Structure 1
Amino acid sequence: MTNIKHPILVFGATGKQGGSAAKALLKAGWPVRAFVQETSKAAALQLEADGVELVQGALEKTDAIRSAMKDAYGVFSVLPGNLTAEDEVRYGISIADIAAETGIKHFVYSSGASVGNQYTGIPRFDAKPRIETHVRQLDMVTTIIRPMIFMEMLVRPGFGLEKGRLISLIQPDHSIQLTATQDIGKFLVAIFADKSRFGGATLKIASDRLTGRELEAAISKAAGYPITYERFSDNVFATNADLAHMAKSLADGPLSEPLDLDILREINPELLTFASWLATFGRNALNKALSPSVR
């Protein structure tokens, strides 16, 4: 691995994607620097205890971002999910511009797999393609990753599991491609280690692919009792533009594109299946979603 003495700057390191990145990069031998808002919070203190260098700042503080990028080899840019669409675009473009200005050798931006070639008219879905377009125009080696739907989305409280049902976006006989956030960091290790292969690439990431019935079987086995699968009703989609867009994307849009899991496994040999994720990293989230459950 080249440039091993120069750190990777990770945004969002106290969150799921950034946390996965920091952990995997440290394990691979990279020095890791994390841009965090509060250095005194438990998640930040744990990063520091693990050997991550902390830099305090806010996304609107461009001087702090520029300082954090000093002498860094690479940047992993992932933004909080609670931003407005306008702020997401503003911060995403700003981070990329500063990276180009400061001479970052490899910039990786985490986008979304629902990004397509046409805007949707839904601001939060259009923010990421706008950032992607800007990133590709910069005079800098860049890689864009597009994780598929995260496994955590299927085990959130209030979506039916507490009543013995799994309610989701696909028809029972259709398939959905899922990503374990724990796999994100492992892909980043491969990406930063091989700039010649991944520079300029847009890589969709998935860990597993299952039908609605297979989801039903996997969660039933993990729960220890039957869980039935069903799709959201048409009434729900009629009143929720975000869910409707994702359902359409899964049926015939960007999320429906079948990914070659064998190729992804070649990049990351430790891909987590949904079943293995439920038994390990997702166990606590599943337990919370199931309680109180109809048994």
Structure 2
Amino acid sequence: MNDDKRPILVFGATGRQGGSTATALLKAGWPVRAFVLDAAARVSLTLQNAGAELFQGSFEDRDAIRAAMKGAHGVFSVLPGDLTADDEVRHGAAIADIAAETGIEHFVYSSGASAGDALTGVPRFDAKPRIEAHVRNLPITTTIIRPMIFMEMLVRPGFGLDQSRLVSLIRRDHAIHLTAVDDIGKFVAAVFADKTRFGGKTMKIASDRVTGRELETAFTEAAGRKITYDRFPDDVLAANADLAHMAKSLEDGPLSERVDLDVMREINPDLLSLRSWLASSGRAAFKEALGATDPSN
């Protein structure tokens, strides 16, 4: 480990990406500081018991952010999905600015795989590329990761699993790259371990690539009963700008770009395939989405 194991500050540590990152960094031997809204919350105390040092504050509290960054080696920045686009850009830029001001050695920003070189005109999707552009202009070593679509999205309520259907964004014969949230932390730990290799890089990350037909097969095997796969109907996509944008991006935009899974596996040898995720960390959410009709319940 470098820099005498000075700590890494993790934003979003009580969420999915930040929690995965805090866990992976602790396992890799880094001292971890977790920036949390409520240090007395159960999830915060769980982090503390795992070895993280808690720093309480909000995104509006710039002094608290400065205090948390003081003496740190690195920062992992991820913003919650419930922010408005303007607030996401404002807070994302401010966190990066403070990192540059306080002499952070390595700044890792988690963007989105739908981010591309051209803005879309949809504020929610343009927030992350706007932050990326701001970060690249700062005098600080930065790595930007762009996780592909989370496997966890496939097992959310409303996607049809309780009716033995999986409804998603790709056509049956088209492919989608998926990322297990557990893998994100492992990628970030590898990035912090090798600033020379990853500093200045922007990289899409993924855990697996599957077609709609392969989704159907994997979910059927995991459920122990037939799960049929369908794409969202055109009228549903037409009525939802976010879904429509993602569906188009999966066909001919940033989300359609190939990720070299051999490179991913070299960086993270424990890469989770969709099948392995369904059998391990994704199993509980999958069974819950299946509902009362799951014969294994």
TM-score w.r.t. length of structure 1 = 0.99
The residue aligned with 1:170 is: 170
The alignment partner of 1:157 has SS state of coil
- 1: CA distance, partners of 2:293 / 2:90: 42
The residue aligned with 1:100 is: 100
Alignment check: 8 A CA contact 1:4 1:30 kept: no
Q: Which amino acid counterpart does residue 55 of structure 1 have in structure 2? A: F
- 2: CA distance, partners of 1:183 / 1:164: 28
- What are the Cα deviations for residues 184-231 of structure 1, in whole angstroms up to 9, with x where unaligned? 111111101111110000010000000000000101111110000000
The residue aligned with 1:61 is: 61
The alignment partner of 1:55 has SS state of strand
The residue aligned with 1:31 is: 31
- By how many angstroms is 1:293 displaced? 3.5
The residue aligned with 2:229 is: 229
Unaligned runs of 5+ in 1: none
The residue aligned with 2:50 is: 50
The residue aligned with 1:240 is: 240
- By how many angstroms is 1:294 displaced? 7.9
Alignment check: 8 A CA contact 2:207 2:273 kept: yes
The structure-2 alpha-carbon separation of the partners of 1:4 and 1:15, relative to structure 1 and needing over 3 Å to count, comes to: farther
- What are the Cα deviations for residues 148-172 of structure 1, in whole angstroms up to 9, with x where unaligned? 0000000011111111100000000
The residue aligned with 1:85 is: 85
- What are the Cα deviations for residues 122-158 of structure 1, in whole angstroms up to 9, with x where unaligned? 1100000000000000000000000000000000111
The structure-2 alpha-carbon separation of the partners of 1:62 and 1:219, relative to structure 1 and needing over 3 Å to count, comes to: same
% identical equivalent positions = 69
Counting matched residue pairs gives: 295
Q: Which amino acid counterpart does residue 258 of structure 2 have in structure 1? A: P
- By how many angstroms is 1:120 displaced? 0.8
The alignment partner of 2:292 has SS state of coil
Alignment check: 8 A CA contact 1:215 1:229 kept: yes
The structure-2 alpha-carbon separation of the partners of 1:228 and 1:142, relative to structure 1 and needing over 3 Å to count, comes to: same
The structure-2 alpha-carbon separation of the partners of 1:294 and 1:27, relative to structure 1 and needing over 3 Å to count, comes to: closer
Alignment check: 8 A CA contact 1:39 1:45 kept: yes
The residue aligned with 2:12 is: 12
Unaligned runs of 5+ in 2: none
The residue aligned with 1:283 is: 283
- What are the Cα deviations for residues 26-76 of structure 1, in whole angstroms up to 9, with x where unaligned? 000000000000011111000000010000000010000000000000000
Alignment check: 8 A CA contact 2:287 2:294 kept: no
- 2: CA distance, partners of 1:160 / 1:188: 33
Runs of 4+ in 1 over 2 A off after TM superposition: 292-295
- 1: CA distance, partners of 2:294 / 2:46: 37
The residue aligned with 1:216 is: 216
- By how many angstroms is 1:260 displaced? 0.6
Alignment check: 8 A CA contact 1:176 1:209 kept: yes
- 1: CA distance, partners of 2:197 / 2:10: 21
- 2: CA distance, partners of 1:104 / 1:143: 13
Residue 122 of structure 2 corresponds to residue 122 of structure 1? yes
- 1: CA distance, partners of 2:216 / 2:4: 44
Q: Which amino acid counterpart does residue 239 of structure 2 have in structure 1? A: T
Residue 139 of structure 2 corresponds to residue 131 of structure 1? no
Q: Which amino acid counterpart does residue 159 of structure 1 have in structure 2? A: F
Q: Which amino acid counterpart does residue 30 of structure 2 have in structure 1? A: W
The alignment partner of 1:108 has SS state of strand
Q: Which amino acid counterpart does residue 260 of structure 1 have in structure 2? A: D
The residue aligned with 1:151 is: 151
Alignment check: 8 A CA contact 1:163 1:294 kept: no
- 2: CA distance, partners of 1:124 / 1:5: 36
Q: Which amino acid counterpart does residue 99 of structure 1 have in structure 2? A: A
The alignment partner of 2:170 has SS state of coil
